[in-house]
Structure 1
Amino acid sequence: MEKAHHPNDLARLLVNRLNARDVDGIVALYEEDAVLALPDGSLAKGAAAIRAYFAQLQLNQLVALGKRSEALMLGDLALTSTVLSPETATAEVARRQPDGSWRWILDRPNVLSAH
């Protein structure tokens, strides 16, 4: 399974895996104890909760890659963000893994409607 070799790779890999309905591949983009903000304002904490969320997600159309900003990096941490539409922008924090790849530790899929 392809890993993110740069923080900006994560969004592309997420879109590819969402469109392929590859739940295990999606979860692999997150650290084991990552936190994902859900649309209802609750949080999915940890891989099992993130897996449960993506497993039940019903996508009616293919997801497109939005306009990504260059990752803001400091050491082994990176802030990534994508504008998906005028009403939707994401913000994520990624951490470099021991093998040099990157995985998300915090993910807010829509900062413009954050609760």
Structure 2
Amino acid sequence: MHEPATRPEDLGRFFVTRANAGDVEGLVALYEPDAVLATPAGPAVGAAAIRAAFVRMLADRPTFTPGRPQPILRSGELALTATRLDDGATTAEVARRQPDGTWRWVLDQPRFAVPPMS
């Protein structure tokens, strides 16, 4: 059993911990069953596609470092989370409060802004 996110702020921290552990199922648990994850190959829609994307992503055992969480924007049951990564890229995710009070991502754009190459 994976620890659930009781606040939207937990999701990014759990992502880094679980990705570094190679815990694909723990990563999938951060998302709603019909969530959408942006990937270089196109959107991964739903748990099975997100699982497959993480299997590919973690195959070479990359190391993830925590970025700088950005202020969270909340509106009712939704929260916009974002993290500034060390290379200047930024993530953006939409989380939704679940009926049990925990939070899971609905939409995830892992890298949407990368500084221009010099």
Same fold (TM over 0.5): yes
Distance 2:80 2:65 in 1: 20
- Note the C-alpha offset of 1:70: 2.3
Q: Secondary structure, in 3 states, of the residue corresponding to 2:113?
A: helix
Q: SS at 1:94's partner residue?
A: strand
> For residue 43 of structure 1, what is the aligned residue in structure 2?
43
Residue in 2 that maps onto 1:72: 73
Partner SS state of residue 35, structure 2: strand
TM-score, with structure 1 as normaliser? 0.92
**1:33-90 C-alpha deviation (Å, 9 max, x unpaired):** 00000024x1000000000010121344421110001211011000000001343110
Q: What is the root-mean-square deviation of aligned Cα atoms in Å?
A: 1.3
Mapped to 1, the partners of 2:39 and 2:86 lie a distance apart of 18
Normalized against structure 2, the TM-score is what? 0.89
SS of the residue 2:7 aligns to: coil
1:16 aligned partner: 17
Q: Is the 8 A contact 1:97 1:103 kept in 2?
A: yes
